[in-house]
Amino acid sequence: MKKKKRLVWQIFPAFFLIALASLAVAIWFATNALNFFFLKQTTLDLKDHIALLQNQIRPHFQDQQLPQIERICKEAGQLTDIRFTVILPDGRVVGDSRENPTHMDNHADRPEIRAAVAEGFGQSMRYSNTLDRNLLYVATAMRNGEHLLAVTRAALPVVFLDEQKKAIQWRMAGGGLVIALLVGVISLLATRKISRPIEELRIGADVFSSGNLEHKLAIPDTEELASLAEAMNKMAGQLDRRIKTVVDQRNELETVLANMHEGIVAINTHEAIISMNRAAADMFENDREKATGRSVQEVVRNIELQTFVRQALATDDEQEDDISLFRPSETILNIRSSPILDVRGQRIGTLLVMADVTKLRRLENMRRDFVANVSHEIKTPLTAIKGYVETLFNQEVDSKEDAERFLGIIIKHVNRLNAIVVDLLSLSRIERTGEDSSSALDFADTRLGDIIQTAVQVCQKQADEKNISIEQRGELDLKAHVDATLLEQAILNLLDNAIKFSDDGNMVAIDVERRNGATGIHITDHGCGIARNHLARLFERFYRVDKARSRQMGGTGLGLAIVKHIVQAHGGQVTVDSKLGRGSTFSVLLPS
Ligand code: ADP
């Protein structure tokens, strides 16, 4: 790049040159005027000298005494540097202050002589061969009335004029130099006076460009620069306000995005991440800063997501899908995409909005399974009831005994249906306690022995039928802050199972203990026990280890689910410890 010159070095030389040129022109005019003045003055001088000489020689013309004229010329020439010559009208020289007139040429053709003869006065400046230098000649006619007596000429070497002129010219040059120096200094100061405020404005502009838009430029004295500085200050102020507004808006947006539960990711058309919020970074288990600028493939190693992004970029329509991430447990993300357009409407990428729907989808699945299970559980007894009722209705039964047997089966299935409905109602009631204050639990400090005693009484007949003894042990006097009815139902369900799955003559035990600040109620049987692989799902609704056996025993598959919900409503938990063929222990742990 061409090197930039400073303003002062652009203005100053021009100023200085103009000043020098004006000075030179002035000196040139002055010199010419001086020449003219000197020439005029010297001519007048010479004319005076000629007049004096004419006065002296005039009498000798009347006498025709030419030698006298010659002598006067010589004398006059000795007194000054002027050379005097007297020439007759025919051009003959009759007197000369330097030469012998007899040796001199005829002077009739000399321009000053011719002019003097014709007009009375002649003047010429030329080179003299005789004296070998430039001379100024002034000639005047000397008349006696109308009769021309002679022409008297005075000559002065121009050197004398030149010397005087030079002396003056030197002085003028000296003065000129002083003026030039003064002009130089003044023009330098003047240009600095112009350039300094401009330089200050430049420094101020640098401050603006470095980001300090609150800086204020000093207002220079010059009107134009003052308006410029004011305009720049105004511009910087407006820019500052606009930048602050943009920054505020960006911060607000950042805050909104940062606090959103949904993950937001902007992706360009090359599948690289432009930006994403904190929630998205958490979902991808990645660092926001590190992920920015990298491709989706690098950041998330998930084929489903990569395919979704590719499809979203390929279309201008909004897309939606559920994607599973494994990190290490499964997380289900619901992803919506919408195209990102620039101000000109050009596609520059796609925006992903991701919501963690893991819980929602699990709940939906559970609901779906639940509805399917309920339908299935209800369908079996209903089909049976329908079959037997139709048989009876069509009077296809021969004997009264068969009819009674069929009615007995119908009653059994109706009871079963009733049991399912009662259990489902219990479940929904317990579930609602968490959400609905009107059906909140009825907590009270209750002696656990009393609750257990009531439950045992309900089961006693069933136990007696199987000759099973129920033993109550431990700290039965312990009190707990519980909903007695619900806890009683939970213990009843566990006790019922323990009796159901125990062989005749076995013993079932209920232990109450307080350990580590928690109250534990353990129901132990020595029945069939449960295989390890069933334990994890045992408390799910309608889950049964042996469906046929459970149904046969009148089980609904909801008993343990009800227990779990009751215990959870008390802030506790239920666990199971079981060995196949050896028996099981179900423990209800309540916080104190
Ligand atoms: P059910 O109405 O079938 O008893 P539950 O929810 O009470 O339903 O129990 C679910 C399943 O757990 C039962 O079908 C049974 O297979 C198993 N189970 C529950 N308690 C015991 C136990 N004490 N001993 C062995 N298996 C049990």
Name the superfamily (CATH) of residues 260-356.
PAS domain (3.30.450.20)
Question: What DSSP string runs through 350-364?
Answer: EEEEEEE-HHHHHHH
443-591, CATH topology level:
Heat Shock Protein 90 (3.30.565)
What tens digit of pLDDT does each residue of 286-331 get?
Answer: 888 888 999 999 998 899 999 999 999 999 999 999 999 887 788 9
- Tell me what pLDDT residue 1 has: 54
Which of 472, 473, 482 minimizes the C-alpha distance to 447?
A: 482
Q: Which CATH number fits domain 21-164: 3.30.1370.60, 3.40.50.150, 3.30.1360.10, 3.30.450.20?
A: 3.30.450.20
Q: Is the alpha carbon torsion for 177, 179, 180, 182 positive or negative?
A: positive
Structure tokens at 273: 């991440």
- Tell me what pLDDT residue 435 has: 58
Structure tokens at 242: 């606009």
Domain definitions of the chain by residue range: 21-164, 260-356, 362-432, 443-591
520 lines ligand 1 (CB under 6 A): no
Which of 560, 566, 584, when mutated, tests ligand 1's pocket best, judged by the most ligand atoms within 8 Å of its CB?
Answer: 560
Within this chain, domains 21-164 and 260-356 share the same CATH topology: yes
* Terminal C-alpha separation, the chain: 85
498 lines ligand 1 (CB under 6 A): yes
**Collapsing DSSP states into helix, strand and coil, what is residue 171?**
helix
Calculate the dihedral angle through the C-alpha atoms of 312, 315, 319, 324, rounding to the nearest 10 degrees. -30
362-432, CATH topology level:
Helix Hairpins (1.10.287)
3-state DSSP helix/strand/coil % of the chain, to nearest 5: 55, 20, 25
559 lines ligand 1 (CB under 6 A): yes
With contact defined as beta carbons under 8 Å apart, do 419 and 482 qualify?
Answer: no
Find the 442 Cα to ligand 1 centroid distance in Å. 28
User: What is the SS3 assignment for 422-452?
Assistant: HHHHHHHHHHHHHHCHHHCCCCEEEEHHHHH
Find the 544 Cα to ligand 1 centroid distance in Å. 6
Supply the DSSP symbol for 89. Answer: T
Question: What DSSP string runs through 326-390?
Answer: ESSSEEEEEEEEEEEE-TTS-EEEEEEEEEE-HHHHHHHHHHHHHHHHHHHHHHHHHHHHHHHHH
Phi, psi at 482, each rounded to 5°:
-140, 165
556 lines ligand 1 (CB under 6 A): yes
Find the 407 Cα to ligand 1 centroid distance in Å. 28
Within 8 A by CB and 6+ apart from 206, the residues are none
Q: Strand 330-341 relative to strand 479-482: parallel, antiparallel, unpaired?
A: unpaired
527 lines ligand 1 (CB under 6 A): yes
Q: For 138-156, give one letter per residue: b (16+ CB within 10 A) or e.
A: bbbbbeeeeeebbbbbbbb
Which residues in the chain land under pLDDT 70? 1-3, 130, 434-440
Find the 380 Cα to ligand 1 centroid distance in Å. 19
- Tell me what pLDDT residue 197 has: 86
- Tell me what pLDDT residue 417 has: 92
